[in-house]
Structures are given as C-alpha cells and as structure tokens.
Chains A and B, each alone.
Chain A
C-alpha cells in the first residue's frame, strides 16, 4: 500500500523533485563526516612530520640456549624520533577562501564543515519530531474518531483548547525552563506544541472513513476492530498522514532553528539554528559576513521547500480539483 503511494508520488513532477531534494539532504546528513573537510568544532589543523629517526645499537640483556637448535636473546634498542608539529590555527571570522569555502566563525571553526554537520541535527530533529507527532496524533485520532463517545469528546475538547494556544511563545517559555542536553528536549518541546492540528485533521478523516459504506459493511459482517482500523481505515489515510508528517517535519525544522536562534536550546550542538545564533551573537551582519548567516537560512528554506513540494504532489494526487488541466 505504502509502495503504491510512493509510486504515485514519483509520477508527480512536484513530489518527485521534492523527494529528490530531500534525498540529497539525507545523503549529506548520512555522509556528513566524510563530506566535511574539518571536524565542525575544531579551530586548528595540526601537521606532524617526522624529521629524523636514530636507531641506537642493540644492548643485549640476556642470552640463553634452549636445546640444540634454539637460542633466545633479549635486547633493547633505543630509537629517537624527531618530529616537527605545526599547528595552524584557523583565522577567526575569516572570509571565504580556498581553505574555508564559507569562511570561519568567531571561534575559528570552519563554517562549511559546520553547515554539513548541521544538516544532520536539523534533519534529524525535523524528521524525528514529524514521526513522533504523526504517531501520537494518528493514535489520538483513531481513538477519538473511531471509538467515539466520551473519549472522543475529551480528546476533541483538549485538542481544540491546545490548538488555539500560540505554540511559539509556549515553546520559548518551556524551553527556557528545561535544561537542554542533546537534542531530545527540543524534539519533545516541538512535539508538545505541534500535535493538536494534525490530530484534529486526522480525526475528521477517520470520522469520514468510518461512515463510508465499505467500512460499515465490514463492521456489519462482524470484522474485528483491528481489521477495520488497520486494513480498511488506515490504508485510506496514507496520503493525509504522509502530508501531515511532512508538514510537521517542516514546522519542526523551522521551530528548531527559531528556538536555537534566540538561544533557547542547546547552543553547544552544531546545527543550522545554532550557526545562526552565533552569527547573530557576533554581529555577522554588521561585519557584512553574508557567508556566515546566508547559507544556513537558505538550506533551511530548501529543506522546507522539499517538504512543501512533496506535499503539493500529495495534494494533487488526493484532491483532483487541485490538478491542472
């Protein structure tokens, strides 16, 4: 079923270009350590060269004969090696050059390497949040839409309440309180504020499907609930679920960057958002250091565009009215 869905996605020009773009970013993230010219948090390159090596004469410590054809000796040799180590500190706040194609930041870290490694964090946070929220909201939607009753009333009510409470300020407030270790807290905070909308959307889709003839018929002939949910309802929700996944992932990437930019978040992690935080904190604009703050933003936007394009394709597939002539 999912394979069919992806087949149709590939046929659509928009979603295909979105998938290609996303695939590119995923590859960059996977092979980031290989692609980055330097480790992202280093400010120097060290070269060590061996200049001389002197081998002293062996000094015999012991000798002994073991049987007729065997002799064993123990001795030491002193080897002296002379090295030359050059430590080349990267310039700080450097313009793009041959060695640093996007320049360096205030701490002398190579920005190009940071961007490449940052792809990992940004993409991971985005997709992980997308996955988590989709799972939560789909579960809630099925519970509330399919089972109905009081549970539905409660879930819908809570959803509607949290839907209208503005997410970003809430994220900032929570983020200020929560100690940031790693990226897990930020994923949780992003998830906490982004579940209501997909839940509401998916719930109404569950309700529609639940009242379709084929589902009713199966229910009438006594199919088990699990069959109805997993075989009849879910397969018909693939496109809307996927579209929600991409929407949430997009807003998570934007949300992460925003939180990190204003300093709520783990600023020791290297991500697109933190690069921008340090750029702003060090007055990159007033230095005219476009190479510092332009690329992360452009990459965020490109990733976002990939998600949006995929979603355009999904929309066109599932809503024929949006198709062009």
Chain B
C-alpha cells in the first residue's frame, strides 16, 4: 500500500506540475503573446477582451502568487475560462462536446493496439528464427517511421478518395438523426479509418517492446527450468515467458501512451474528427489560448491517470512490487 500511496502522490504532483506549466507558460513567453493578441483584437467587444485579459492575468491588480492561487482553485473546480473562438462559451462546455469522441476513439484504439501489438510481440519473439516473424517486425518498424498524420493522409487518399469506401472526414453523417441506427452506422463508418490509422501505427511500439522483453525473458533460467519440467509449450510461452515479459511493457506504458495519445490527436486533425485533437487544431489556428491550454491540461490529466492505472496493474501483476521488494 506504500507503493500505491507513493504512486498516488506522484499523480497528484504531476497534475500540479502540468497545471503550473499551463499557468506560467503564457507569462514566460517572449514577445508578449497577450499583447499581440490584444492588438489584433482591437475593436472587439469589451467582454471578449476581458476574457483574454483573464487568460493572461492582465485584468487584475492581484500579484502573481495570488493569480496563481486563484487559477489553481478555479482549475480544480473545473472553471477553465472562456473560449475566444466560440465566445462566450465556457471552455469546459466546449470540451464536453469533444471529449466523448476522443475517449471512444483512443480508448478503443489503445486497447486494440496494445492487445494486437503485445500478442504479435510474443509471437515474433517465440518464432524469431522464421522469415515471417522478421518480416512482421520489419514491417511495423517501417510503419512506425511514418508520421501519424501522413499515414492518415495516405489512407484517406487510398480509401476515401480513390476507392471511396470511407468518408473523407468527420465523425458521423449529418443527414442522419442523432442516435438513430443509421447515425450509429455512420459513426462506425467514419471511425474505421482514423481508428485503423492509430492502431496501425501504435502496434509497432507495443510489438517491439514486447518482442525485446520476450527475447530477454526467454534467455532467463526460469524458462530453462520450465522446459526441464516438461511443461506444455503453451504454458511456458504464456505463464513463464509472456507473464514476465509484459511487466516492462506495462511499466513502459508511460512513455508509449503519451506518444499514442499525441499521435491520436494528430490523426483527429487529419480526419477532422471532432475530438480533442481536432479542437486543439482549431484552437491553435484561431489562437484561442484558453481553449488550447485547457485541452493540454485535459490530455495531460488523462495520460497521467492512465499511467496511474498502469501502476496499479503492475502492482497486481508483479508480486515483488506488491511487497515493495522492487
């Protein structure tokens, strides 16, 4: 339980750091982006200016520490300011419309990518002398060298433009009534290509990680003992090799998941998929700073929470971690 408390402490602290980055970033930037924005917005309604000022801390006579304190308090309460591009909508309600799409898409892709990648990794390590395994590893390594967004562009070109099997972008068909069977079907239709992009490019990361872990574990003495015991190959492969090899994969989740979420965001941008990524894209182009920062915060928070969940998983999977022996 000490382990869990430590990890939870780390979660809270990293959340706090993310929030602080968010607060200080605009205030530290050279060239005073706030002023530049204000200049650009001359003649705009006073209310809108107000919210820009709020975002940059220009509206108050409070000292920096007081502003910081207020910001932290507001953020924790869920008050993320007012969106500039969708004025006067509060950022939180703008986000609420985008979040389900991202969670649906990324959640599904992460699970599928992790499962396929890990299974392929186990297989590729076990059969590493075969041509097919080398080819698979090579293929996914090559795929991984492509930028996510380009892979998306390529798939759109092939499947949407040339073959016309999938729509060019968006998340659903506007002709259908929301919630109807036809609408759901269109959601699936729109989701397949972006999901395929994310999954395809994330498989490589899991596969390579699992393969290398497996190869290392397969050289361990406990595998030799398992063979000496005459255990069925299936049991050796799963309970002895994979069971141990997956531990670093789960630990390595921190690194990979951040990457995949990043890639997912970009994929959304390419497919105009109305989730957090596409919204970030719009916010960036419209210089909607409060929205942009809130999106960063939400993404950071979800990655951090996912990592915390991975820590819990590791605790359940590894008795040594449970006992604090490792």
A contacts, CB < 8 Å to B:
160-170, 172-174, 176-179, 197, 250, 254, 257-258, 261-264, 276, 280, 285-286, 288, 290, 293-294, 296-297, 300-305, 307-308, 312, 315, 319, 321-322, 324-325
Q: Is the CB of A293 within 8 A of B258?
A: no
Q: Which 4 A-B pairs have the closest CB atoms?
A: A304-B145, A168-B262, A297-B150, A166-B258
Query: How far in angstroms is the closest Cβ of chain B from A174?
Result: 7
Which residues between 222 and 265 of chain B lie within 8 Å of chain A, taking CB atoms? 254-255, 258-259, 261-263, 265
Q: Could you list 16 examples of A-B contacts with CB < 8 Å?
A: A164-B258, A164-B307, A165-B17, A165-B18, A165-B300, A170-B296, A174-B25, A176-B287, A176-B292, A285-B156, A294-B157, A296-B150, A300-B147, A304-B146, A308-B144, A321-B218
Report which residue of A178, A197, A294, A301 has the largest number of chain B beta carbons within 10 angstroms of its beta carbon: A301
Question: Given A164-B303, A168-B265, A170-B21, is A294 in contact with B154 using a C-beta cutoff of 8 Å?
Answer: yes
Give Cα distance in the complex from A301 to B289, angstroms: 32
Query: Nearest chain B CB to A275's CB is how many angstroms away?
Result: 11
Is B30 interfacial (CB-CB < 8 Å)?
yes
Q: Which of A161, A257, A286 contacts B147 (CB 8 A)?
A: A257
Are A262 and B254 interface neighbours, CB within 8 A?
no
Q: How far is the CA of A276 from the CA of B218 in the complex (A)?
A: 43
Among B30, B255, B266, contact of A197 (Cβ-Cβ < 8 Å)? B255
A261–B284 touching, CB < 8 Å: no
Given contacts A250-B145, A263-B285, contact A166 B262 (CB under 8 A): yes
Residues on B with C-beta less than 8 A from A325 are 129
Is B14 positioned at the interface, with any CB of A under 8 Å from its CB? yes
Question: Closest approach, in angstroms, between the C-beta of B185 and any C-beta of chain A?
Answer: 24
Residues of B with C-beta under 8 A to A276: 149-150, 153
Interchain CA distance A161-B289 in the complex, whole Å? 24
Q: How far is the CB of B82 from chain A (nearest CB, A)?
A: 18
| CB-contact partner of A300 in B141, B150, B307, under 8 A | B150
Name the CB-closest residue of B to A174: B25
Which residues of chain B have C-beta atoms less than 8 A from A305's C-beta? 141-142, 145
A262 and B281 contact, CB distance less than 8 A: yes
Digitize B307-318: 1 where CB-to-A-CB distance is under 8 Å, 0 elsewhere. 100000000000
Q: B161 to chain A: which residues have CB within 8 Å?
A: 285-286, 288
Contact status B129-A324, CB under 8 Å: yes
User: How distant is the Cα of A308 from the Cα of B141 in the complex, in angstroms?
Assistant: 8
List, in ascending order, chain A residues with CB within 8 A of B289's CB. 176-177
The answer, yes or no, to whether B269 is at the interface (CB within 8 Å) is yes
- The A interface, classified by DSSP as helix, strand, loop or mixed, is helix
- At the interface, is chain B mostly helix, strand, loop or mixed? helix
In the assembled complex, B295 has its CB within 8 A of some CB on chain A: yes
Whether B29 contacts A177 by the Cβ 8 Å rule is: yes
Give Cα A152–Cα B278 distance, bound, in whole angstroms.
40
Enumerate chain B interface residues (CB-CB to A < 8 A).
Answer: 10, 13-14, 17-18, 21-22, 25-26, 29-31, 33, 128-129, 141-142, 144-151, 153-154, 156-157, 161-162, 168, 212, 215-216, 218-219, 254-255, 258-259, 261-263, 265-266, 269-270, 280-281, 284-285, 287, 289, 292-293, 295-296, 299-300, 303-304, 307
Min CB distance, A304 to chain B, in Å? 3
- Determine the distance from Cα of A174 to Cα of B24 in the docked complex, in whole angstroms: 11
Q: Which residues of A contact B287 (CB under 8 A)?
A: 176
**CB-based contact A169/B153 at 8 Å:** no
- B29 and A161 contacting across the interface, CB-CB below 8 Å: no
Contact between A169 and B300, CB atoms less than 8 A apart: yes
- Evaluate contact between B212 and A261: CB separation under 8 angstroms: no
Q: Is the CB of B14 within 8 A of A169?
A: no
Closest Cβ neighbor of A185 among chain B residues: B30
Distance, CA A172 to CA B216, complexed state (A): 37
Residues of A within 8 A of B146 (CB): 297, 300-301, 304
CB-based contact B30/A169 at 8 Å: no
The closest CB in chain B to the CB of A276 belongs to B150
Question: In the complex, A290 Cα to B156 Cα: how many Å?
Answer: 11
Q: Cα distance A168–B299 when bound, in Å?
A: 10
Give Cα distance in the complex from A172 to B129, angstroms.
Answer: 42
Once the chains are docked, how many angstroms separate the CA of A161 from the CA of B36?
32
- Complex CA gap A232/B246 in Å reads 34
When the two chains form their complex, are residues B142 and A258 in contact, meaning their CB atoms are under 8 A apart?
no
Known contacts: A163-B255, A324-B128. The answer to whether A179 contacts B141 by CB under 8 A is: no
The answer to whether B215 and A321 touch across the interface, beta carbons within 8 angstroms, is yes
User: Could you tell me the distance in whole angstroms from the C-beta of A11 to the nearest C-beta in chain B?
Assistant: 19
Please report the C-alpha to C-alpha distance between residue A164 and residue B17 in the assembled complex, in whole angstroms.
Answer: 11
Q: Given the complex of chains A and B, what is the CA–CA distance between A319 and B211 in angstroms?
A: 13
In the complex, which residues of chain A have a beta carbon less than 8 angstroms from the beta carbon of B218? 321
Minimum C-beta distance from B174 to chain A (A): 18
